Each structure stands twice: as C-alpha cells, then as structure tokens.
Amino acid sequence: MAATALSDLIVTVFWFPRSAWESIPSPDIPRMPFTPQPGNKDNKETHSNPNQTKTMKTQQGFTLIELMIVVGIIGILAAIAIPAYQDSVLKSRREDAKSVLLGLANAMERHFTLTNSYCDAANNGGVAVAGCGAGTEDTGPAAIFATPAETARFYTITISAVTATVYTLSAVPTGAQTGDGCGTLSVTQTGAKAATGALANCW
C-alpha cells in the first residue's frame, strides 16, 4: 500500500504539466533593496543591512561643536604663544645690540690708549664737538668699530656724546624693534648702563 502511494507520487511529480506548475503562486517573500557595492565588477545584486549603513554614516566626520572646541583651543594657544614669541625675538635683538655697545666701548678704550682722547672716533658722517680733538667726526656712527649688518637692521649704534675724557654710546631701536619696551640702550666710559624704556632689567 505504501509502495503504491509512493509510485503514484513519483508519477505525479514527473508527469505533472509544466503549465500547471507555473500556475501555482509563489510565496510572497520580501526582498532586500539592491545596493551597488564598491569593487563589485559584475554589479551583482547584494544586500546590506539598513541598520548597519545608518550606524556607519553617523560615525563619519566631526560635529559642529567639536570643530568649535578645536578652533577655540587653537585661538587660546595662539593668544599665549604669539606674544611670547614676539617678546623673545625683541629680547634676542636687544641682546645683540648690548653686545655691540660693549664691543664699541672696548674699541673706544683702545682708541683712548692710542690718542689719549675719546675724540675723533666717528666716521665721515659724524659731527665735530668743539674743543674735542683735531678731527671733525666726534659723534655719530663709529669709525673705529663696525656694527654687524644684522644689528644695524634693528638698532642705530652711535657715539651720542663725547669729550676728550667722557663718552656715551647709544643703541636706538629702529624698524621692527621700535616696539621694544626697553627703548634706547646706552653705556658710558665708566661702564654705567641705562635704558630709556619702561621695562626693568633691560641690561
């Protein structure tokens, strides 16, 4: 009996008309939306998880608040670092000028040793001081000492006052150095040092 039923089933499957099979409705199975994937050369249909795609999109880039925080931090650092850097540059140039003044002071002492006077130590652009030596160049840029070109860009080094036994040398800030709070630096034959600016400890 069972063998007869199995035989009838086999005959039915193999000899059932194709048109009858096609007339049987297929179950309504929902299909996932087609999403082209990078690297899919054949552009075959693949399916992605909508929840996974949404999660990946929300993790890309920065939020506006995060960008504003970064910009604020950069602004604070710049407000601190830039003035500190500028002060450091001014101080470095000032140190150069002080070194040049002391070098010129040594040159003045050598000049005094040779001539027994501090007069006549300026170059051809100098100004004569009455009763100070035989030359006409007593004050102004020195002829007995060469100011380095880098220092000359930011300071004018001169013999600002002189007699046979007294002198004052000055470094006047120019150009980008005019903002230096120490102002004009000076030194005398006694080694006394001064500055016209409001800053303390300029020497």
pLDDT at 143 over 90: yes
DSSP string, 77-88: HHHHHHHHHHHH
Average pLDDT over residues 156-180: 95
Residue 52: per-residue pLDDT: 54
> What gap in Å lies between CA 171 and CA 156, rounded to an integer?
5
The bridge status of strand 193-195 relative to strand 185-188 is antiparallel
Q: Which helix (H) or strand (E) holds 8?
A: helix 2-15
> What gap in Å lies between CA 158 and CA 137, rounded to an integer?
12
pLDDT at 199 over 90: no
Residue 79: per-residue pLDDT: 87
Residue 33: per-residue pLDDT: 60
Average pLDDT over residues 186-191: 96
pLDDT at 16 over 60: no
pLDDT at 62 over 60: yes
Asked if 169 and 157 count as a contact pair (C-beta separation under 8 A), the reply is yes
Query: pLDDT tens, 66-106?
Result: 889 999 999 998 888 888 888 999 999 999 999 999 999 99
Classify the C-alpha dihedral 106-107-113-117 as positive or negative: negative
Query: Amino acid identity of 191?
Result: G
Q: What pLDDT band is residue 21 in, cutting at 50, 70 and 90?
A: very low
Q: Name the residue with tokens 């040594």.
A: 106
> What gap in Å lies between CA 98 and CA 109, rounded to an integer?
17
Residue 152: per-residue pLDDT: 96
Give the pTM.
0.62
Which carries the bigger pLDDT value, residue 134 or residue 32? Answer: 134
Residue 3: per-residue pLDDT: 46
